[in-house]
Amino acid sequence: MKSLFSHPRAFLLVISLPVLLACQPSPEKSAEHKQTRASVSFNWFEYQGNDEVFTQPLAEGEYQNPIVSGFYPDPSITRRGDDYYMVHSSFSYTPGVPILHSRDLVNWQLVGHVLTQPGQFKFDGLGVSRGIFAPTLRYHDGLFYMITTAVDAGGNFLVTATDPAGPWSEPLWLPEIGGIDPDIFFDDDGKVYIAHNDGPDGEPLYEGHRAIRLWEFDLATKTVMTGEGSGRVIVNGGVNIADKPVWIEGPHIYKINGWYYLTCAEGGTSVNHSQVVFRTKNLSEPFVPYANNPILSQRDLDPARANPVTSTGHADFIQTASGDWWSVFLATRPYADNFYNTGRETYLLPITWQDQWPVILPTGQEVPYRHVKPNIDVELTQLITTDALTGNFTWRDEFSQQDMDPRWNFLRGFERSWLQVANDKLDMQASAFDLSSQQQTSFMGHRQQHGRFSVRTSLNLPTQQGISGGLTALQNSGFYYYFAVQKQQNNYRLFVQQVNNGQVSLLADTVINAQAGQELTLLVNGDKGHVSFAYTLVDGAPIDLVVNADATLLSTESAGGFVGAMLGLHVRNEAYSNNRQVD
């Protein structure tokens, strides 16, 4: 993954420390707030997606791209026997590093997360797009290895597990290795190597000048070898330093038919993103770039084409049991210009070989939404029970299980004492921190996986004053919507708040006459660059509160960063809802 500035519109918004300090609640008030445990009860949550590109039924033997829709970026894949496992970046969301399972490379199930323990990481104070970048997943000699970077939260580390669903080991920190995007490669002679993105030797020659470095790793002692030659630069800048290539990153090494192949992302993760490849016969010798690089990109295609797939790169390769090679990679589906709210998604394409060079997609060809399935002999009865992770689907949580569904994501923290599931209800305690804070807050979100979607939730009107609860559409702490209800003296206030570049606006603020405990349904409908808000009481027809508000603020083109929008639940203490920070 990348520096914040690998996205052409990425930026940091800064406000003065005195203002921040003035907005923080005092310890006494925070303690008092925790003791009250003011909360809102939710009865269910439902997400439904309906994108045009998914409406046509698949032909026999076809699969759907993206294979995993929504915010599942930087895929890394490995195989154990007939089972495939894949991980993705999670940034400051917890639990960290989602892990998916498949038996055919097409149908996937979210089986859990790699990073689940409160004491392992501290993401408080981080922007949403910091935290866990670009993991690599490998299976070797009975163990799964996951290596990644905790940006601004400890650096590079390695964890292992015998079962990819967990538990995973405590992090083995790798302080010798700087930069981001580490890869671990197990050679057939027993040696192990770590490649990663870092600065070049000497001063960078231009903005975005980076390098790929290589270290040997002693698996027996679990130490990075720091002798002569370790940490050396194996790619300087990119394919051709004379062209001033930017943001070489996401390296992965493979040994295939006597060649060592190194594939990397180049060009930054926006519209100039691409995948390039190098090879050598010996790791002590220079890597030579492929003459026909890039092996994957969409940057030369007409941006006005119908249903474009853009920003392709950060690929990983996998060989099936039958010997075929496939690649997973990230890409985006903008609805206009470079606006997309679904984040960077995961796609699948076969690898073809040209003069012993791997090619994912020839220059000038569009990434297809439909493709012939991999030739994997899997009986339908042996397929895992799959989640609906692509295509059009409806997902509903009735809050009938004590364990939270793994689709739920939380901000920064791993502690969940503010949540309670009982009697088919989710009780969410109000937080002193609102969504504009860079601390853990009372929030749980489901990825936006479609340009056109509908989200609904049912809640019981709170009995306590001073708190609010409802639905949110969140990009980061400076860009989001909050649609909530708040008890007043003799009635209830219903409002829609927009936060755009840190500026707070009330788009709607109305009073409804209802009783404490009465059921209220909130609805958020998204249509690409627009978002609308409505509600119902009892079994009445939906009442529009805001129609066609600007949803482009939920895109990285507006907000910067690397994450997709989250749609979920939030409860806050209104007395402290002005602690504003932005990413």
Active site residues: 74, 249
SS3 sequence of 362-380? CCCCCCCCEEECCCCCCCH
Rounded distance between C-alpha atoms, residue 168 and residue 87, angstroms: 14
Give the E-state strand segments of 70-210 in sequence order.
76-80, 83-87, 93-94, 96-102, 109-115, 131-140, 143-151, 155-161, 172-173, 180-186, 192-198
Rounded distance between C-alpha atoms, residue 213 and residue 451, angstroms: 39
DSSP label at residue 334: -
Tokens found for residue 48: 């439904």
- Secondary structure (3-state) at 351: coil
Rounded distance between C-alpha atoms, residue 92 and residue 124, angstroms: 9
Number of H helices, E strands in the chain: 3, 41
Cβ atoms of 100 and 109 within 8 Å: the answer is yes
SS3 sequence of 466-513? CEEEEEEEEEECCEEEEEEEEECCCCEEEEEEEEECCEEEEEEEEEEC
User: Which residues lie closer than 8 Å to 503 by C-beta, 6 or more apart?
Assistant: none
Q: Nearest CA to 314 among 247, 239, 262, 250?
A: 250
- Secondary structure (3-state) at 20: helix
Cβ atoms of 397 and 45 within 8 Å: the answer is yes
**Interior/surface letters 308-341, b for 16+ CB within 10 angstroms, e for the rest:** bbbbbbbbbbbebeeeebbbbbbbbbbbeebbbb
Cβ atoms of 98 and 110 within 8 Å: the answer is yes
**Interior/surface letters 495-515, b for 16+ CB within 10 angstroms, e for the rest:** bbbbbbebeeeeebeeeeebe
Antiparallel, parallel or unpaired: β 39-49 and 394-397: antiparallel
Q: Nearest CA to 105 among 277, 261, 321, 360?
A: 321
Tokens found for residue 314: 């950060």
Place of tokens 């009735």: 398
- How are strands ordered across the β-sheet holding 143-151? 131-140, 143-151, 155-161, 172-173
CA torsion, ordered 333, 336, 338, 341, to nearest 10 deg: -60
DSSP label at residue 449: -
Q: Which helix (H) or strand (E) holds 33?
A: helix 27-36
Q: Nearest CA to 224 among 147, 115, 134?
A: 147
